[in-house]
Amino acid sequence: MAHRQRHSCLPLTLNPLRSTLPRLMKKLLARYTDPQVLKQFLQQDADRDIQFFKYAIAGATATAFHIVLFHLIAWKVFPALQAEDLFSKLLGLTIEPLEDAVRSRNSMYSNLGAFIFSNFFCWIINRAWVFNPGRHHIMVELGLFYVASSAAIGSGTLLMGWLISHYGMITTLAFCANLVTSLLINYGMRKFVIFKG
């Protein structure tokens, strides 16, 4: 009898999930297709969830710009790529082998070069579309943006160089660790320190 009760209880515990998930999906679909909500994507003032979604879009765009710049610099200016790197494979590049110490140093230089340009691009997007400027004078705001981003990318860059020099990790994978570290620090600083919110 107890055996039958366990089986008969199983559908009861799954039924709330089965009925809740479609309702949640309908609710989310209704929210994000509402013209008033969609309007928030065209203005700076937005609900928190919309603002975070806009931040994610802006961040993804700036990150893509940074990734392209990093790999171009690591290919042409400060050689840091390996034949195994995805960028090398996608473009069919012939890459000369480098010692890990040289590759580590050059990857950090390449990241710094990409950072200078991609961070300015990111500041423009965040200022114009995601956050409300005006907490500070524009030059102070830009300076704080670079200081906060420098701390974030500095931490990530050191981690990247360390992963390459100590573990021989391929450049692209070590670069991903750098991106995750930067993302976590940047949102909080931009949201609560640099912009009005």
pLDDT at 19: 65
Question: Using the 8-state DSSP alphabet, how is residue 131 labeled?
Answer: S
Lookup: tokens for 134: 């005006």
Rounded CA-CA distance 72/117 in Å is 13
Condensed to tens digits (0 to 9), the pLDDT of residues 170-180 reads: 888 998 988 88
Rounded CA-CA distance 17/22 in Å is 9
Give the pLDDT band (50/70/90) at residue 8. very low
Alpha-carbon distances of 39 from 16, 34, 46, rounded to whole Å: 34, 9, 9
Rounded CA-CA distance 22/135 in Å is 42
Domain ranges of the chain: 61-194
Condensed to tens digits (0 to 9), the pLDDT of residues 143-194 reads: 999 999 999 888 988 998 999 999 999 888 998 988 888 888 887 888 888 8
Whether the CB-CB separation of 197 and 136 falls below 8 Å is answered with no
Condensed to tens digits (0 to 9), the pLDDT of residues 79-92 reads: 999 998 888 999 99
pTM, to two decimals? 0.72
pLDDT at 10: 47
